[in-house]
Structure 1
Amino acid sequence: MASFSLTKNLIQILVLCTLATVSVCARPRILELWMPDTDMLIYHNGEVLQGNIPVSIVWYGQFTATQKSIVTDFLLSLTSTSQAPTPSVGQWWSTIEQLYLSKVTGQQTQVTLGNQVSDDSYSMGKYLTMSQISQLAANAGLQKGGVTLVLTADVVGVEGFCTNRCGFHASNQSTKSTYIWVGNSATQCPGKCAWPFHQPMYGPQNPPLVAPNGDAGIDGMVINIASMIAGVVTNPFGDGYFQGSKDVPLEAATACTGVYGKGAYPGYAGQLQVDPTDGCSYNANGANGKKYLLPGLFDPSTSTCSTLG
């Protein structure tokens, strides 16, 4: 595990979106393209998710079996007993537990893969509002203490997608349920939401990295899914761990946007593992031989970003 100082300049240039917890009963806290000058990331004495955390998936639109396996194997890897080589997705999850969850719950948490629902007929059309995302999650059957993951295909437009967000997580206090949305940006804004597997829309134009599973859109989705899972388990209802404004918070992973390995700087993801067979870049091994690129996690005690490798 490598740890290094995070500079304000790095964050201000590379941040793609500030990913916020929102309540379905409150004004949405948008995922902004800027980052305010804020105080430290601290615990605000609220709830975190704990125990068994089932993650259900709503596949909205067309996804291939291979694309689905990339995502589901990532989720299985979070607490996988498959003994993936180090550095592993399981180690990344353990870092979240050590830095955030265990300090509040005093117990081990475990992510489990829940039900999967496919809506490949685009029942709500090919443009969705935030309220429709909420409805899709609700239709799938929100579970208390669990997370519903709504994933939209590359042809689906979503309110604010690409202009000010790549994904978000939200909650319903009355049912103690949470959900996440992440979109496939492959055909809409890969330079914003699939970096570093595509040249960035702004900033230094270094060559893009080779995606670890050969699909820049889905591998980019995994980055954003990981960021949102880190946020939703540590700040599910807006009063857990966050930095800055409650309406536009920085969380465990989004406080380290653009940081994937040691030595990261604007336009450079950091020192990563490179597979000699296909040249793909990654920093975590997962279940069933999959490889992933996962975001750095902010360490509140040292004010640095910790990365795998």
Structure 2
Amino acid sequence: MKHLYFLFMFFVSISVFSQHTFSIVAVDPNTGEIGSAGATCISAEDGALAISDIVLGVGAIHTQSFYLPANQNNARIRMEAGDSPQEIIDWLIANDAQGNPSQRQYGVVDLNNNNPRSAAFTGEDCFEEFLHITGPNYSIQGNILISEEVVTDMETAFLETEGTLADKLMAALQGAKRPGADSRCLDFGISSASAFLRVANPSDTDSSYGNLSLDLNVWITSEVFEPIDALQDAYDATLSTNNPQSTESNITLFPNPADKTVTLQSTGAMITSYTVADVNGKIVTQREIKSPQNVLYFDVLQYTDGIYFVETFENGTSISVERLVVSKK
């Protein structure tokens, strides 16, 4: 019953705290990429992802700690209007949607014509431990942490990792990973219950979830696992041409065989629903997607070992059927 209690606890946490935890926004002035990554101890599809807002060609904003969509929307409006990161934060503090900026935490970064700027804010009434750190092209922030080292270790990993912006963001999350990074997850021995990694490149035209060049999101749905490691697996799979099994329908399913979390990725059609059936044709999982996506995840921890068939749909039309092997030996 541990996993059932786990889910119940985090549904309660959403309604009571609406709290988000550790995250990073960053840009690469050399490539024009804009990135956003984070995690929280809320086990929901939009648990961590809710805070991520990328304004294409401009920058990224995270509004966290007692998250309010109104504050997030206002921050986007200010960025689109041309405000600097510090001006955006100053405006948010002066115009908090509930008149209570002392509970908020913000991180903002922009490209600024290849001269990036960043700013952050942490209100005195955020849950401890809390901290933010900024650099020329990044802002890292966290609250309700097991220790401030969650944030400082994120910065160290980000700065010391060579590679693409996505590599550095993924490394930052790994730097944060420890039991109780979000202190609410300590009793379960994991860092968080959902995590995301998003990177927009200059050719992207839609910043909504599932439409960026890199758009990964994982969350716990039943049995407990470490979301940052699952996110790492999904990220590694996007870098490899060996793991996915592709079909002419441009759907990839990986890893295969699978023992924990499976990624479904479409390079064309948007996935609006999927089913998983066993070898006898019995549907064991059926899910409608709230908002169409080209990347989604499901866990197979509750499945028995064997062969399954995953059928994906776009607006009721079948996109593909993929053969999946579940093996937990």
Structure 1 or 2, whichever has the larger Rg, is: 2
TM over 0.5: no
TM-score (normalizing by structure 2): 0.31
TM-score (normalizing by structure 1): 0.33
Specify which structure has the bigger relative contact order, considering alpha-carbon pairs within 8 angstroms and separated by 6 or more residues. 1
Greater share of strand: 2
